[in-house]
Amino acid sequence: MSHSKSFTVILYSYTPLLDHKA
């Protein structure tokens, strides 16, 4: 379960990066 939360945090952190690249 903790792993899932960590993945979500990473995804949230990468969201702005992808948005900027897009």
Q: How far is CA 21 from the centre of its chain?
A: 14
Instruction: Name the E strands within 1-22.
Output: none
What's the token pair of residue 10?
A: 């990473």
Q: What is the pLDDT of residue 1?
A: 59
Distance CA 11, CA 17 (A): 10
Distance CA 20, CA 6 (A): 22
DSSP result, the chain = -HHHHHHHHHHHHHHHHHHHH-
Q: What is the pTM of this model?
A: 0.35
**Tens digits of residue pLDDT in 1-22:** 577 888 888 888 888 777 766 5
